[in-house]
Structure 1
Amino acid sequence: MKIVVALVSLSMVIMVGMVFQAVHQEIKMRKAKNRMVESSLEVKRKEEAIVELKTKIESLGQTIKTTNSKNEELRRKKEEASQSNKNFGERLGTCSNEKAEIVKKKTDLTKIISELKANHEQSKEKASEEIQNLKQQILDRDKAICAFVDTTKEEARKLCGISESSR
């Protein structure tokens, strides 16, 4: 009997040990299952965050592309404006040179015109003097002719300025 009691006690101790072991394993399994559920939830959240970040990255990529294209367009416009500015500068230089030439020609022509006006005035004065001299010579000649002309004729009276009443 002693052996039976010892065997029953030993089997009880072994059984309690096995129950304890089973309960301990069950608790560990539940904890592992809970951690696994939490980990899967965390993985899902992180996946969602990754997907969200991907969409943000794609939208930022599109924004960068549009910004780069606008930047390139602005560079082209800047180059065109620079080229246009250079062309306008060259045209301005050409126009300035032409203007300087025209101003020089104008001053030369103004000088020539003033000289011609002065010469014209002098010529006019000389011509006026010559006309006066010629008129005086004609009057002197007419007076000399009037002294010898027959005043009875009408042409002679007209030439000498004699009226019929003074005869």
Structure 2
Amino acid sequence: MAKLLYSVTMSLDGFIAGPGGDMSWMTEYLGPNPEVDELIPRIGALLIGKRTATGDDPLKGQEGEGKAFGGGWEGPEFVVTHDIPGTESPGTTYVGDLPTAVAQAKAAAGDKYVNILGANVAKQCLEAGELDEVLTFIAPVMLGDGVRLFDHPGGRTVRLERLSTNQTPMATSLWFRVL
């Protein structure tokens, strides 16, 4: 059965996007990454938040713009949104609620991962008890403001079990199981 994985690159100070959702900071940290190369064939579907689907792209103006993992992955994408467009893009399904989106993405992924893109959708999956794992690539930069990896006003403790730690020239990765 598919597992839900939140994989994300963040700054050392905990931001996955800069102010206003700016992703341009990430461009220089998207170099070769063997761990990402090994992950991509293990992904069966994407679960994407609306802001992520329509937001800034770190590959803006470059080859791979608008494509998952810069064009390194292709497959079914499920965008969670209350504002479903009249026309759909090939391979993209717009879903109006999280439980339906998760069920459809899991069915499409089979025994592979459903990779989550977007902090808000990841938070919703965590709160619904659906998030299984978190893979964070920590880039050697501090942004000071922006979209946090996990934001829960008032605080919330989420226990994690470390599965692996790796280092590449571009980032350090931490892979956890959600307990």
- TM-score w.r.t. length of structure 2: 0.11
**Higher RCO (C-alpha 8 Å, min separation 6):** 2
Give the structure with the larger strand fraction.
2
